[in-house]
Each structure stands twice: as structure tokens, then as C-alpha cells.
Structure 1
């Protein structure tokens, strides 16, 4: 695929990082009006409807591609991710939860051997080691009085996201598919178990206000529909390693906005852990840049270096 340059992808990355980053604070505020199951279900339903409505607006067909695979991806990447992410935010701070969940690229790397038969190579182990060391400092297993359950739930959400990412990648290796169509249908299908759980499991009464309506609208239209469309727009125009830089910006925005809006504090060990995780993700992006440069120096058509 030929990647185009310009201000569009850069502006998209900025909007994506700011919107996704602040969405963690908005989600935390939304939980003050509804229980985690109801909030996760409503976000997913509205987000799925918004993405389905986006299909005809972008000239894409409604047709449901690869039903079986889409259902499995929806159960993992939407049902599982939304449930664990929202549950983690009940007792966990938005900034810390965002950092834990955005370790997803490292789990994708480590799990790729099981799903894609791709082993971790060379310098990738350094990125993985830095990130895993950072996780130890954030989770603080030696401080059992901390919100250990919330941190474990955040890691479960990251694992669901990573597994879903690998399943999408494997599906793309085998078939030609439209990513926005897949995203819309997996969101719609993944919302069904969340709706069932919200209807069957008792939770505290919801408190409907204009503020809560605004939060839901932001999460569905902004954080879900707009940001997923921006993500696909960026992937179509810049190399994957460059697009992954948005992963670095999002938790930074989440930490700063959480500190400003909710007064979330961080211990020294947690700050060190955040630094190590950020270093690991940055190093992983750097490896992707190096591989992209090496691939660009060789022309398969001519069989010689360019």
C-alpha cells in the first residue's frame, strides 16, 4: 500500500490521542451515574449503531463479512475488553488504568507466536522487558493493600484487546476485508452479551441527567465512531509503526487529564513504572521504524538495493 504524506494523518493522530486520552476521565465520570454493566452496554450499543450508520456515509456496504470470525472478535475485543476496562475503572484511577491497558502492543507481540506463529526476535525482547518491568512497579505486588483487583482487570482488558488485534490480523492475512465494516459489526455483536448481562445482573439504579447523556454521546460518537474512523484513516495513509505513536500519546493525555480533572496521584514506583512502560512502547515503535527503513531500501521488483 502506498502511504501518502500531509497534514491530514498528523492532525488525525493529534485528535485521536486527545479524544481517546480524555475518554478515560469521561468514562470514570460516567460510572458515577450508572453501574459498570449498564454503562458498558450503553456505550457499546450506541457506538455500534454509530459505526453502522457510518458505513453508508463512507460508501461501504452493509453486508456482514465473515460472520463466524467477526462474532469471535466481537466477543473478545468488545465484550471482554469493555467489561474488564469499565470494571477496572470502578475502583482504579483513569490514568493508571489507561497505562495498564495500553500495554496492549507488548501482549500482542508476546502472543503473536501462538496465534500467528511469529516469534519475538532480537531487540523486541528489550521492549518487552522494559514494559513488563514497568508493570511490576505499577502493580506493586509487595503492596497488597493497593487496588490490586483493578490493576488485574486492566491487564485482562489489555489481553482481550491484544487477542482481538491478533485475530483481526490473522483474518486479514487470509481474506480481503473492509476494516470499518468489520469494526462496526464486531462492535454491534459484542454489545449483545453486555446488554444481556446488564438486564440479568442487578446493579444500582441509573441516574439519568443531561451530563450523563453528554458523556454517553461523547463516548459513542467521539471515542468510538470518530476515533475508529480516524484510526483506519491513519493506517491507510502512514506506516503502521508511525500510526502506533498514537498509542504513546493516548495514555499521556489520560494521565494529565486525570491528574487535572480528578486529582489522581501517583507514587514514585508508579511514576517509574509509567516511564519504563513508555520507554518499552517507544522502543517498539523505533524497531518498527528501523524495519520500515530496511524494507524501503530494497526493491523486490529490481532485486537490488535502492
Structure 2
């Protein structure tokens, strides 16, 4: 991979960090006006429409990419991850839920080894260990992480996202000519169909179409869902699975900082120490990926 390609992926990840870190606050606030599955379905119906409009605007082919791999990505990355974490937010705080969901990198590393034959190198093992210690300090389970159901749902969401990430990497390896935007749109369409089905079958509170809720849906449709997943697949396409997954830990760290600035949730000493360790691991990974 070229240095330019790696830099492009890291720039995409920087933009994604800003979009997704703030969205954890938005998703939590949206639950005051809607049920979790209804909100998930709304955001992804709109996000899917945005991606297909982009395909048409760019005059790219609407032919679907390989069906089964794309379906697997959609079920895991779009439907599974979103439904589980949005459900976790019902009884869990935005910051803690985000941090638990971002155990994804460690699930992804475990899956990438047997499925992709991608064994971490020496420096990556060191980064994994440091990042894991940092994440443990930030979560600080000895201080309590919320309801058991919320914790398990968030962890399951991280595992589901990891499955989608590894499946996407394998698709790009086996089909290097597949169009990134096409995969983004079609996997989201498949996952959205399941989210809509869940919203219809599971009893949900009546949606309150207030200005804050409309703004939350718009933010998710245009940025967090449509643009966000396209940027994430660009990162997965251009970076090794371990590097792409571990560098995504910058997102919950930024979420903690935004919660501090916006919600005045000042991080404690454990969180500060953990963020310092994760930042150290990310810096090491950045040097490795640029090489």
C-alpha cells in the first residue's frame, strides 16, 4: 500500500472520529423521542437513500456486489451493531456504551487471524497490549459500568461490528476491483431491511417529531450513517484489519472529551491514564501503517 493511500485512510478516520464520537451523544438524546429500533430504522433508511443517490450522481453501476459477502457485512455491521448498541443506550450511558462497543478492535484481531491469516507483528502485539490496558482503565469496571443487560448488549454490538469489519476486509481482498461506494450502499440496504423488520415487529413508543429529534435523524442520515460507513469501509479497504480496528479507538476517546465539553462529564484519573495509554498505542500503530 502506498504512503498516499495510508494517509488518505488516516484522514478519513480523522473525519470519522469527529462524526461518530459526537453521534453517541446524539443517539442517546434521540431516545427521549423514539424507541431504539424505530430510530435505528429511520436513520438507516435515510442513510441508504443517500448512498444510492450518490451512486446515481457519480454514474456508478447499481449492480450489486457479491451477494453473500455483502449480505454478511450488512447483517453484522449495519443491522447487528446498530440494533444492539442502540438498545444498550436505553439503560446505559452514552460514554460507557461507546467504550464497551469499542472492544470491537480486540474481537476483530481475534477473528482476522483465522479468517484472513493476518497475524499481528511484534509492534502490533505491543500496541494491542497497551491499548487493551488503556481501554480497561477508561472503562474502569471496578467502578461499575451500568446495568448488566446494557453491558452485554454493548459488548455484543462490538463483536457484531468486528465480524462485519473482517468480512469487509476479506471481500476487498478477494474482489479488489469491487467499488467501495457500491459495497457501502448495498450492505446498508440489506442491514436496513432487518432493522425495519425489527422496528415493525417489536413494540416501540410513538415517535415525537420534535425539532431536536428531526435534527438527530438528519445528523445520522447525512453524516453518521451515509457518509460515516462509506468512510469506515475506505479505512478497512486501505489499512490492515488490526490497524483499522485499533485506530478506531480514537472515536470513544473523542467521545469522552466531547462529553466533557458538552455535557460537563469530567473524566476521572483512571480515564485520563487510560486515554494516555491508548494514544501511545495509536501513535505506534500510525508509524507502523505509514511504513
Same fold (TM over 0.5): yes
TM-score (norm 2): 0.84
Give the distance between the partners of 2:96 and 2:283, measured in 1 at CA: 18
Residues 53-132 of structure 1: matches in 2 within 5 Å?
Answer: 53-132=53-132
Residues 22-37 of structure 1: matches in 2 within 5 Å?
Answer: 22-37=22-37
Give the distance between the partners of 1:53 and 1:96, measured in 2 at CA: 35
Per the alignment, residue 215 of structure 1 pairs with 216
Change in CA separation of 1:62 and 1:35 when aligned onto 2, cut-off 3 Å:
same
Per the alignment, residue 240 of structure 1 pairs with 239
Per the alignment, residue 196 of structure 2 pairs with 195
Structure 2: gaps (5+ residues): none
Change in CA separation of 1:193 and 1:245 when aligned onto 2, cut-off 3 Å:
closer
Of the structure 1 ranges 129-138 and 187-196, higher mean CA displacement relative to structure 2 is found in 129-138
Give the distance between the partners of 2:193 and 2:140, measured in 1 at CA: 35
Displacement of 1:120 = 2.8
CA deviation digits over 1:172-222, x for unaligned, max 9?
Answer: 221231111011111111011111111111122221112211210110112
Give the distance between the partners of 1:2 and 1:143, measured in 2 at CA: 44
Bigger fraction of residues in helix: 2
Provide the alpha-carbon RMSD of the alignment: 3.1
Give the distance between the partners of 1:2 and 1:121, measured in 2 at CA: 19
CA deviation digits over 1:218-272, x for unaligned, max 9?
Answer: 1011222233445567788xx6389889735533432222223333344433433
Give the distance between the partners of 2:2 and 2:217, measured in 1 at CA: 37
Assess if the C-alpha contact under 8 Å between 1:74 and 1:189 holds in 2. Answer: yes
Assess if the C-alpha contact under 8 Å between 2:116 and 2:170 holds in 1. Answer: yes
Assess if the C-alpha contact under 8 Å between 1:139 and 1:151 holds in 2. Answer: no
Structure 1: gaps (5+ residues): 293-306
Of structures 1 and 2, the larger Rg is shown by 1
Displacement of 1:78 = 0.7
Assess if the C-alpha contact under 8 Å between 1:179 and 1:232 holds in 2. Answer: yes
Of the structure 1 ranges 271-280 and 155-164, higher mean CA displacement relative to structure 2 is found in 271-280
Change in CA separation of 1:4 and 1:230 when aligned onto 2, cut-off 3 Å:
same
Displacement of 1:64 = 0.8
Change in CA separation of 1:81 and 1:245 when aligned onto 2, cut-off 3 Å:
closer
Give the distance between the partners of 2:228 and 2:111, measured in 1 at CA: 26
Give the distance between the partners of 2:10 and 2:173, measured in 1 at CA: 27
Displacement of 1:276 = 3.1
Of the structure 1 ranges 136-145 and 202-211, higher mean CA displacement relative to structure 2 is found in 136-145
Change in CA separation of 1:249 and 1:125 when aligned onto 2, cut-off 3 Å:
closer
Aligned length: 287
